[in-house]
Structure 1
């Protein structure tokens, strides 16, 4: 899975922004915290949930279960707006 081409990302230093280019049903922008921004960054290339969790484990300290839950939640939200291609 990866980000839909109808969305672009922008890193403004403090947060990652996901912006619709107008070619999807969703029009607007998504502001994300550091964790969600990391997940969105991973989705710029074709990847899997397991690969994202593995990358998070290398970068952050924390329980794997919490990371898996965060990844699932963020991906579910991105799917709702049509931002992910499977």
Structure 2
């Protein structure tokens, strides 16, 4: 799976925000506010990846256990799916 649109992530007032760029901005004209882990997941989703790889990335880079990471990743990915932002 990966992000459906080409996003750029910038910091606005110290918080990461994702904005679709180029022709994708015509289809998704909005911003997505992220936290640091959300930005990390967004970065991983810029190329084709798996849910298991995202969970492994979180447990390797953040102080979180596997079950906590799995739950957070499932919730985050579901929000992206609900908004049509993933290609699977």
Per the normalisation by structure 1, the TM-score is 0.84
Query: In structure 2, what is the equivalent of residue 22 of structure 1?
Result: 26
List, as ranges, runs of 4+ consecutive aligned residues in structure 1 with deviation greater than 2 Å.
13-16
Deviation per CA, 1:23-60: give whole Å up to 9, x if none. 14xx3111011111111111011000000011111101
Mapped partners of 2:71, 2:36: distance in 1? 15
Query: In structure 2, what is the equivalent of residue 49 of structure 1?
Result: 51
Query: In structure 2, what is the equivalent of residue 4 of structure 1?
Result: 4
Query: In structure 2, what is the equivalent of residue 70 of structure 1?
Result: 72
* Aligned-pair CA distance for 1:19: 2.0
State the Cα RMSD in Å.
1.7
Query: In structure 2, what is the equivalent of residue 85 of structure 1?
Result: 87
Q: Which runs of 5+ in 2 are unaligned?
A: none
Per the normalisation by structure 2, the TM-score is 0.82
